[in-house]
Amino acid sequence: MTKFSHLGRQYWPTLVLFAFLLASWQAAVSFGGIREYLLPAPLSVWNALWHGDTSWGQHIWATTFEIIGAFFLAAGVGVALGVAIAWSPLLANALVPFLVFVNTLPKVAIAPLFLTWMGYGIFPNMLMGALIGFFPVVINTAVGLSQVEADMLDLGRVFNAPKWKIFVKIRIPNALPYILSALKITATAAVVGAIVGEFVASQRGLGYVIVTTQSSMNTSVAFAALIWISAVGLALYGAVVLVAHLWAPWAEGID
Amino acid sequence: MTSRLIDLDKVGMIYEAASGPVEALAGISLSVEPGEFVSLVGPSGCGKSTLLRIVAGLRPATAGTITVAGREVTQPIPDIGMVFQAPILLKWRTILENVLLPAELAGKDPGALRKRAFDLLEMAGLHGFADKLPRELSGGMQQRASLCRALLLDPPLLLMDEPFGALDAMTRDDMALELLRIWGERDLAREARKTVLFVTHSIPEAVFLSDRVVVMSPRPGRIAADLRIDLPRPRTVELRASEAFGRLNLEIFRTLTGRAVGATSS
Residue ranges per structural domain of chain B = 33-58+74-79+157-260, 85-155
Burial per residue of A14-28, b for 16 or more beta-carbon CB atoms within 10 angstroms, e otherwise: eeeeeeeeeeebeee
- CB contact under 8 Å between A176 and B92, yes or no, is yes
At B158, phi and psi to the nearest 5? -115, 120
- CB contact under 8 Å between A155 and B104, yes or no, is no
* Helices A219-247 + A42-50 axis angle, to 10: 70
CATH superfamily of B33-58+74-79+157-260: P-loop containing nucleotide triphosphate hydrolases (3.40.50.300)
pLDDT band at A3 (very low <50, low <70, confident <90, very high): low
Nearest CA in chain B to A162: B105
* Least-confidence region, from A35-39, B48-52, B173-177: A35-39
Q: Does A200 touch chain B (CB under 8 A)?
A: no
pLDDT band at B266 (very low <50, low <70, confident <90, very high): very low
The confidence score (pLDDT) of residue A255 equals 45
| Contact present, A135 and A82 (Cβ < 8 Å) | no
Which residues in A lie closer than 8 A to residue B56 (C-beta atoms)? Answer: 154, 158
Which residues in A lie closer than 8 A to residue B135 (C-beta atoms)? Answer: 250
Task: Give per-residue pLDDT as tens, A173-227.
Answer: 999 999 999 999 999 999 999 999 999 888 899 999 999 988 888 888 999 999 9
Nearest CA in chain B to A171: B90
**Cα distance between the two ends of chain B:** 19
Which residues in B lie closer than 8 A to residue A157 (C-beta atoms)? Answer: 58, 76
Task: Give per-residue pLDDT as tens, A125-172.
Answer: 999 999 999 999 999 999 999 999 888 998 888 888 889 999 999 999
User: Shortest CB distance from B92 goes to which of A154, A155, A248?
Assistant: A248
- CB contact under 8 Å between B88 and A151, yes or no, is yes
Q: Average of pLDDT values for B203-231?
A: 91
More confident residue, B263 or B21: B21
List the strands of the sheet with B71-72, edge to edge. B20-32, B6-17, B63-68, B71-72
Q: How far is A244 from chain B (nearest CA, A)?
A: 13
Cα–Cα dist B34/B157, whole Å:
8
CA-to-CA dists, residue A14 to A10, A19, A21, B236, angstroms: 8, 9, 11, 62
Which residues in A lie closer than 8 A to residue B82 (C-beta atoms)? Answer: 151, 154-155, 158
Interface of A with B in 152-171 (CB under 8 A): 152, 154-161, 165-166, 169-170
Of A71, A69, A66, A77, which Cα lies nearest the Cα of A99? A77
Query: Which of helix, strand or coil describes residue A2?
Result: helix
Q: Answer whether residue B249 shows pLDDT above 50.
A: yes
Ranges assigned E (strand) in chain B: 6-17, 20-32, 37-41, 63-68, 71-72, 80-83, 157-161, 195-200, 212-217, 222-228
Architecture, CATH, for domain A60-246: Orthogonal Bundle (1.10)
- CB contact under 8 Å between B77 and A161, yes or no, is no
User: Shortest CB distance from B104 goes to which of A154, A158, A169?
Assistant: A169
- CB contact under 8 Å between A173 and B82, yes or no, is no
- CB contact under 8 Å between B106 and A161, yes or no, is yes
User: Shortest CB distance from B105 goes to which of A151, A165, A173?
Assistant: A165
CA atoms within 13 Å, Cβ hemisphere of A81: 21
Q: How far is B128 from chain A (nearest CA, A)?
A: 19
Preferred mutation among A155, A166, A246 to probe B, highest tally of B CBs within 10 A? A155
* Domain residue extents for chain A: 60-246
Q: Does A98 touch chain B (CB under 8 A)?
A: no
